[in-house]
Amino acid sequence: MNTLQKLEILGASAKYDLCASTSVNTSRINKTIQSNIGYRAPAGCCHVYSADGRCVALLKLLLTNKCTNDCYYCQNSTSCKNQKGKTSFTANELVNLFMGFYKRNYVEGLFLSSGIQGDSEVTMNKMIDIGSLLREKYRFHGYIHMKVLPGTSLSSIKAMAQFADRISLNLEAPSSSHLKELCSTKNFNSDLMTRIIWMNSVNKKQKLPAGLTSQFIVGGNEASDHDILKSTNKLYKNFDLKRIYYSAFEAVKGSKLENRINTPLLREHRLYQADWLLRVYKFNLGDILPEKDSNLSLKIDPKTQLALNTFDKRFPVEINECTMKELLYVPGIGPKSARRIMNLRKNGQKIEKESTLKKLGVVTKRAKPFIKINGKYFIRLDKWLEREKITTTV
Amino acid sequence: MKKVHTALIFLSRHDEYFHKKDEYFSRLEEKINIFEDFHLHHATLLKKAQEVENLIHKIKGFIRFISVNELLVGIYKSKHLIMDLIATHFKKRFPLYNTMTFNEDLNSGCLCLAVNDDINKHEFHISKKYSIRPLIAERMYKSPSLLFFQVKNKEIFYDEFLPYIFNKLNPSSPNEDDIDESKRKFETYWNTFYDSQNIESRTNYKYAMKNFTKKQLLKQLGIKSIEAQRVYKKVKKNQKTLYDF
């Protein structure tokens, strides 16, 4: 099999792994090392966008698609009937291909994952070899993202962290019982959670420039948004993960879960919105967590939902007097526009008109029923709900 | 204040506000005097600056290089004076390569010499058709590595200037067929990889068009997709056009 065919098969196998970001914490990069090629920037760079609108910044490949694991959702699993040809890259082949792309500015960095061929330790070592080849022989100073394979040892995670900017491990499901619906060979606690704990301890010592990430499959099993968000919060708080990615379940032909219904992409989007509230707005989990065994509402975004639920307690807020935290709870006001409002007030100016708010970046259409300016209301909540065609019980 | 400063620097590269000369740093002070009532224009200025900044960011990603031995050549289009900002980005990225970035709109660009290369080794010849000299900001160094060049028109760049630089930097440069072949090889590699990354059930042209021009989209996805064109017409009505690269 030639390189072109391998690229086609192993590229397609890696497409469900999510990793758009290439930004790094530049203070954590060792600047004394002289590089021959490559450069990492605090803000990443997109090199092309795919037809689904997502940015393709990294050369996303599997080292091999031979795999002994039996994950029901995956095309490379042993139980899948519709498998493509099994191949693997040699280290030199992959590195030459990548350097060719990087030199011509096609990609920003390398994303390397792998199927587990035989023993996970052996495959992991092959990936580490590629890392060391790039960093030591080619003196590559750009971005590398590598996947930790389930069931590997602490020492190999340490070795991988030497070469990679970001390491990640896909949890796929929030708990042991949910994982059993998706995979028969992986054990949630011993194979996955222990590695996350180890990755955290490695990250504390070696200070990875782009931190750790993980990924969940949304749908395909019984796990609700309640479980996923709870698990997400735990990962952020206890294990210092930088980001969690969510991937809506999609039935792969020939796999065991072929007949399951695909998850609507909107559900994935709502989870990302809730995730954003946790990470950037620093909301408490209790604020946005849906009831047990239930999902986030598909009709309304989580922040508006929260505002409607707590309307009597919090709203409407007085724009010229409230605190930063109160501002952040208003739908249509984000961290940026909230900071602008606070800055304006610090300078002794007052907001008088709705148009001023618009200039500061507030989406007044959504914020209207939740705010008042100098005691003046804009619109009553029930009228607003009617106009926006939102039907919920407040 | 720092933000205002960067805004001004980017603004000085905005052609509406500035003449097409490379001596913009010296004129920056004049600019600040012009905008004495700066706070009034604060938002619009920042917005304009942001536009230029976004364009630079986009070019950094979308530019593609042709590799000839240790020389990388990339072409882009922009109406702003951003040649040096693009060049310094790639100087950091490829320290051991000579990189050449050419702006087709302004018929000028930057040649960036590799770290181990010395400018004093090469004596660049200046003719009526093209000029090449160190960038103003670099003139104080003994061996400046960032050179600014200007050609009369596009044709002269491809026919005369580019071969001249090839010969100057790599006396043993390979013939054109080899360059074409390696270029084509990586283009097919890239297209294969690009196609493999697409998840069909998630196809969303509307979203893709936020970042693409029609030309780029059709180039990437193939003209076959009539649907893409249809959606494009709908979305593009209210959107600003980006420059094609």
Helix (H, G, I), strand (E, B) or coil at A243: strand
Instruction: Provide the whole-model pTM.
Output: 0.86
* pLDDT at residue A169, as a whole number: 94
A7 contacts in chain B (CB < 8 Å): 189, 192-193, 196
* pLDDT at residue B134, as a whole number: 78
A345 token code pair: 């007030």
Q: How far is A380 from chain B (nearest CA, A)?
A: 32
* Distance (Å, whole) CA A349 – CA A359: 15
Determine, for residues A48 and B220 on separate chains, whether the beta-carbon distance falls below 8 Å.
Answer: yes
**Interface of chain A toward chain B, CB-CB under 8 angstroms:** 3-4, 7-9, 11-12, 15-16, 35-39, 43, 45-53, 55-57, 59-60, 97, 100-101, 103-106, 108, 142, 250, 262, 265, 359
* pLDDT at residue B44, as a whole number: 63
Closest CA to A332 of A296, A370, A295: A370
Query: What is the SS3 string spanning chain B?
Result: CHHHHHHHHHHCCCCCCCCCCCCCCCCHHHHHHHCCCHHHHHHHHHHHHHHHHHHHHHHHHHCCEEEECCEEEEEECCCCCCHHHHHHHHHHHCCCCEEEEEECCCCEEEEECCCCCCHHHCCCCCCCCEEEEECHHHCCCCCCCEEEEEECCHHHHHHHHHHHHHHHHCCCCCCHHHHHHHHHHHHHHHHHHHHHHCCHHHCCHHHHCCCCCHHHHHHHHCCCCHHHHHHHHHHHCCCCCCCCC
- Nearest residue on chain A to B209, alpha-carbon basis: A53
Mean pLDDT of the A268-281 span: 93
User: Within a 10 A sphere around the Cβ of A90, how many other Cβ atoms?
Assistant: 12
Q: How far is CA A168 from CA A15, A172, A212, A280, B214, in A?
A: 15, 12, 5, 21, 36
Mean pLDDT of the B5-9 span: 61
Q: How far is A290 from chain B (nearest CA, A)?
A: 26
Helix (H, G, I), strand (E, B) or coil at A49: strand
- Nearest residue on chain B to A251, alpha-carbon basis: B201
* B44/A contact by beta carbon, under 8 A: no
Residue B165: φ, ψ to 5°: -70, -40
Residue B50 contacts residue B8 (beta carbons within 8 Å)? no
For the segment A219-257, what is each residue's pLDDT rounded down to a tens digit? 888 899 999 999 999 999 999 999 999 999 988 888 888
Residue A261 contacts residue A255 (beta carbons within 8 Å)? no
* pLDDT at residue B221, as a whole number: 62
Closest partner CB to A37 (pick from B43, B94, B198): B94
A11 token code pair: 């590229």
Determine, for residues B194 and A56 on separate chains, whether the beta-carbon distance falls below 8 Å.
Answer: yes
Q: What does the DSSP 8-state code read for residue A252?
A: P
* B38/A contact by beta carbon, under 8 A: no
A59 contacts in chain B (CB < 8 Å): 193
* B66/A contact by beta carbon, under 8 A: yes
* Distance (Å, whole) CA A132 – CA A138: 9
A262 contacts in chain B (CB < 8 Å): 201
Sign of CA dihedral A140, A145, A148, A149: negative
For the segment A316-371, what is each residue's pLDDT rounded down to a tens digit? 899 888 899 999 999 999 998 898 888 888 888 888 888 888 888 888 888 989 99
Closest CA to A163 of A235, A110, A105: A110
Within 13 Å of residue A338, how many CA atoms lie on the same side as its CB? 20
Strand B130-134 and strand B65-68: pairing?
unpaired
* pLDDT at residue B171, as a whole number: 66
* pLDDT at residue B219, as a whole number: 66
Helix (H, G, I), strand (E, B) or coil at A363: coil
Q: Which helix (H) or strand (E) covers residue A166, if one does?
A: strand A166-168
* pLDDT at residue B1, as a whole number: 47
Q: A50-64, A253-267, B27-41, B81-95 — which is least confidently predicted? A: B27-41
* pLDDT at residue B218, as a whole number: 65
Q: Is the pLDDT of residue A33 over 60?
A: yes
At A53, the pLDDT band (50, 70, 90 cuts) reads confident
* Distance (Å, whole) CA A67 – CA A64: 8
Q: Which helix (H) or strand (E) covers residue A147, if one does?
A: strand A143-147
* pLDDT at residue A127, as a whole number: 94
For the segment B194-214, what is each residue's pLDDT rounded down to a tens digit? 888 888 888 777 777 777 666
At B16, the pLDDT band (50, 70, 90 cuts) reads very low
- Nearest residue on chain B to A4, alpha-carbon basis: B189
A104 contacts in chain B (CB < 8 Å): 64-67, 72, 186
Give chain A's mean pLDDT: 89
Helix (H, G, I), strand (E, B) or coil at A272: helix
Mean pLDDT of the A12-32 span: 84
A215 token code pair: 């990924």
- Nearest residue on chain A to B116, alpha-carbon basis: A36
* B64/A contact by beta carbon, under 8 A: yes
Top mean-pLDDT range of A319-333, B24-38, B218-232: A319-333
To the nearest 10°, the Cα dihedral for B209, B215, B220, B224?
A: 100
Helix (H, G, I), strand (E, B) or coil at A137: helix
Q: Is the pLDDT of residue B242 over 60?
A: no
Mean pLDDT of the A29-54 span: 82
At B25, the pLDDT band (50, 70, 90 cuts) reads very low
Q: How far is B127 from chain A (nearest CA, A)?
A: 30
At A281, the pLDDT band (50, 70, 90 cuts) reads very high
* pLDDT at residue A39, as a whole number: 87
Closest CA to B119 of B107, B106, B132, B108: B132
At B243, the pLDDT band (50, 70, 90 cuts) reads very low
Burial (0-12, 13-18, 19+ Cβ within 10 Å), B139: exposed
Q: Is the pLDDT of residue B24 over 80?
A: no
Q: How far is A154 from chain B (nearest CA, A)?
A: 32
* pLDDT at residue B20, as a whole number: 38
Residue A147 contacts residue A116 (beta carbons within 8 Å)? no
* B203/A contact by beta carbon, under 8 A: yes
Determine, for residues A37 and B93 on separate chains, whether the beta-carbon distance falls below 8 Å.
Answer: yes
- Nearest residue on chain B to A340, alpha-carbon basis: B43
* Distance (Å, whole) CA B164 – CA B158: 10
- Nearest residue on chain B to A250, alpha-carbon basis: B201
Closest partner CB to B196 (pick from A11, A36, A43): A11
* Distance (Å, whole) CA A118 – CA A132: 22
Closest CA to A161 of A201, A188, A214, A120: A201
Mean pLDDT of the B74-91 span: 86
Determine, for residues B197 and A56 on separate chains, whether the beta-carbon distance falls below 8 Å.
Answer: yes
For the segment B150-192, what is each residue's pLDDT rounded down to a tens digit? 898 889 888 888 888 888 887 666 677 777 888 889 889 998 8
* Distance (Å, whole) CA A199 – CA A210: 13
Residue A328 contacts residue A338 (beta carbons within 8 Å)? yes
Mean pLDDT of the A259-263 span: 89
Residue B80: φ, ψ to 5°: -100, 160
Within 13 Å of residue A154, how many CA atoms lie on the same side as its CB? 8
Determine, for residues A265 and B63 on separate chains, whether the beta-carbon distance falls below 8 Å.
Answer: no
A31 token code pair: 């600047």
User: Within a 10 A sphere around the Cβ of A28, how many other Cβ atoms?
Assistant: 14
- Nearest residue on chain B to A142, alpha-carbon basis: B93
A47 contacts in chain B (CB < 8 Å): 61-62
* Distance (Å, whole) CA B25 – CA B137: 8
Closest partner CB to A7 (pick from B193, B204, B212): B193
Strand B65-68 and strand A212-218: pairing?
unpaired
* pLDDT at residue A352, as a whole number: 86
Residue A250: φ, ψ to 5°: -135, 125
Mean pLDDT of the A133-156 span: 93
